Amino acid sequence: DAVTNEDRFTVELEFVQSLANPRYVHFLASKGVLRDDRFIAYLRYLRYWERPEYAKFILYPHCLRFRRLLLDDAFRVAMENPRNAERAFKAQFERW
C-alpha cells in the first residue's frame, strides 16, 4: 500500500509531538537512537513543523523546543541520563 500525504502528515505530527515528552526522549536516548545520524537528519527535516501553516496543528508546543534542542550534541548526551529527563519533565510540568 502506498502511503498517502495525509498518512505521512499524521505520522509526522504524532512523532514530532511525542518529542514534548522528556521521558520518551530519554527512551530514544537509551536505545541509541539519538546517536544515529539518520535520526538527526530526520529532526532537521521536521523543522517544517515550525512554520505557521503546520504549527497550528501542534497541541504540545514544547515539542518544537525539544526538536531544536535535540540538534545539539550535548543535549542528546544529557538526555541519556534518566535524572536529566526527570528534571526536564518536572520543569515542564511546573510550567504548565
Does the model's pTM come out above 0.85? yes
Taking the alpha carbons of 48, 34, 61, 58 in that order, is the dihedral positive or negative? positive
Give per-residue pLDDT as tens, 24-63.
Answer: 999 999 999 999 999 999 999 999 999 999 999 999 999 9
Residue given cell 511525542 in the structure block: 18
pLDDT for residue 86 is more than 90: yes
Distances (CA, A) of 46 to 7, 64, 88: 15, 9, 22
pLDDT for residue 2 is more than 80: no
On average, the pLDDT of the chain sits at 94
CATH number of the domain enclosing 73: 1.10.10.1340
pLDDT for residue 74 is more than 80: yes
- Number of compact structural domains in the chain: 1
Q: Which residue range is the domain that position 41 belongs to?
A: 5-94
- Is the pLDDT higher at 78 or at 2? 78
